[in-house]
Chains A and B, each alone.
Chain A
Amino acid sequence: DIVMTQSPDSLAVSLGERATINCKSSQSVLYSSNSKNYLAWYQQKPGQPPKLLIYWASTRESGVPDRFSGSGSGTDFTLTISSLQAADVAVYYCHQYYMTPFSFGPGTTVDVQ
């Protein structure tokens, strides 16, 4: 099974500042035949289901603000919020869809400092 870890567990950032979340998988989620990383990022606010932000590690979902960006390959990935807005306060999860059982990171809580 692929174990996903995230760091930090939580972070507080001033409005307008950058927030960076790291995600690591216990084995590579890069599929060599198509050179795609099977890694997605979700945002979850209280009482709501997770919302897809990023897929293929770096492709932004339609309608997601461009202040959200994803990077990384293999086993190490990063979600960056370039300029934190109040609406971005949430828990963020990384997710590997490379193989079953699919798995998620434990989540990173982002708050305003």
Chain B
Amino acid sequence: QVQLQESGPGLVKPSQTLSLTCTVSGGPINSGSYYWSWIRQPAGKGLEWIGRIYTSGSTDYNPSLKSRVTISLDTFKNQFSLRMTSVTAADTAVYYCARSSVVGGTVYWFDPWGQGTLVTVSS
């Protein structure tokens, strides 16, 4: 059973770069057809999809964040990562990683999810 776990600094200063890693256990990250996504949730608010990376390495980003976000894959460490530049207080949120299956070209829902990690942007 695949499990995901986010890790990274809990505090980032404004204007700096947020870097998070999602470690995948229970199977190779580049085995099968999957998209690996980042999703965030400000405290008390809803969910926002940030972007995704396919097992081949191709990426898609939410246009609202595209200029500041990079998602990458490290198959040797079985991890994928999020890098977000020029952060502000508005980027304070719980960040989740999640997987979507791809079957016959159809992309499925998000499942499973990591437990989430809180990132606070503050000086």
Contact = CB atoms under 8 A, between A and B. Distances in A.
A63 to B, nearest CB: 12
Interface stretch (B9-17, B18-26, B60-68, B75-83): B60-68
B109 A101 contact: no
Prevailing SS type, chain B contact patch? strand
A34 B106 contact: yes
A101 B64 contact: yes
A77 interface: no
Interface in B44-91: 46-49, 52, 60, 62-64
Contacts of B63: 1, 101
Interface size class of B (residues with CB under 8 A): 20 to 34
20 contacts: A1-B63, A34-B106, A40-B110, A48-B115, A49-B98, A49-B114, A49-B116, A50-B96, A50-B110, A50-B113, A52-B111, A61-B111, A95-B109, A95-B110, A97-B100, A97-B110, A100-B49, A101-B62, A105-B46, A107-B46
Interface of A: 1, 34, 36, 40, 48-50, 52, 55, 61, 93, 95, 97, 100-107
